[in-house]
Structure 1
């Protein structure tokens, strides 16, 4: 089943969720690279792909938002008592997933590093743009905030599965 239904999320929604979860996890490893100053396998193997994966995530989140909007009426129901929290929580997750690559791109271009994605140069190196670099300076703060939001998302999925026992996690697993 490609489309979402009242019983479970469709294959497209599940693909976006889990593919982006893996890619975001990959990206978050950069935080630990920063903590340990890149002197380990993460800094050597995964970090060189950070910018390219970030741009891929930006494309995926834009398409995912479009898909979400088209499937909104088909989604499994939300507990009415918690609807505001669910909407705010998911809204903040989506906002964070948009702002992360946008601020990352702002940092790269603003600092004059240029932008090369999967080996293709999209923006040449330059002298930089100070105001754009300032916006890019928000990137690490948004990363830590997004990490907290993701942790909360995971905790709530387990609460639904093991405490409420409402099958929410099963709907996303297929």
Structure 2
């Protein structure tokens, strides 16, 4: 199984980052959903108690994934030409942007609160007396809203994967979930028939 990306498939490192982050985000949003629906309970306390350290871990994974993506930028599968390809690029940029901004806002709030923070026992912020409202207020206003916006984008991302799989019947899903090896047997995405002159080619 190749560890680097290729024009046909994502490699082992990209897949590990993608699916580990997907699981962590699912846990984070499940915890918030339980908090909203169940209220105070031992399960709520446990899941919400993991929210801050796992959010910090997610921020680290986002940075690693972004760096790895830049290193493999010329090797990895593209989103295709046309309007659909451009929208896919914009959607992925929005996902990466929110995955970076949402935990950063939470860390700013944590620092501004003056409370010490040691995720997984690693001292990250020593804490201090007082409070920096200029750091706390933006996170209070935007962290939750942007987090739910991120969830909506993730839902759209999953929906488009299903559209590719069952409506357009192309090879997008197998890039990240199928065989990572065997590129010699893998066919590229089918090219749709060209549209009349002046129309956009919708290929993903």
Counterpart of 1:164 in structure 2 is 168
Q: 1 CA distance for matches of 2:157 and 2:42?
A: 28
Q: Is the 8 A contact 1:114 1:123 kept in 2?
A: yes
Q: 2 CA distance for matches of 1:12 and 1:146?
A: 23
Counterpart of 2:111 in structure 1 is 109
Counterpart of 2:135 in structure 1 is 132
- DSSP-derived class of the 2:40 partner: coil
The structure with the larger Rg is 2
Q: Is the 8 A contact 2:165 2:172 kept in 1?
A: yes
- Total equivalences in the alignment: 174
Q: Is the 8 A contact 1:108 1:136 kept in 2?
A: no
| Stretches of structure 2 lacking an aligned partner (at least 5 in a row) | 179-204
Higher strand proportion: 1
Higher helix proportion: 1
- DSSP-derived class of the 1:79 partner: coil
TM-score (norm. length: structure 2): 0.80
Deviation string, structure 1 residues 126-145 (Cα, Å, up to 9, x no partner): 31211000221211011111
Deviation at 1:41, TM superposition (A): 5.2
- For 2:148, which of 141, 144, 150 is the aligned residue? 144
Counterpart of 1:7 in structure 2 is 8
Q: Structure 2 vs 1, CA of residues 170 and 73 (structure 1 numbering), >3 Å: closer, same or farther?
A: same
Deviation string, structure 1 residues 92-136 (Cα, Å, up to 9, x no partner): 000111011101111222223332211233223331211000221
TM-score (norm. length: structure 1): 0.92
Counterpart of 1:17 in structure 2 is 18
Deviation string, structure 1 residues 27-61 (Cα, Å, up to 9, x no partner): 11232133136434541322211111111111111
Task: Pick 1 or 2: higher relative contact order, CA cutoff 8 A, min separation 6.
Answer: 2
Q: Is the 8 A contact 1:3 1:71 kept in 2?
A: yes
Q: 1 CA distance for matches of 2:9 and 2:103?
A: 29
| Stretches of structure 1 lacking an aligned partner (at least 5 in a row) | none
Q: 2 CA distance for matches of 1:120 and 1:64?
A: 22
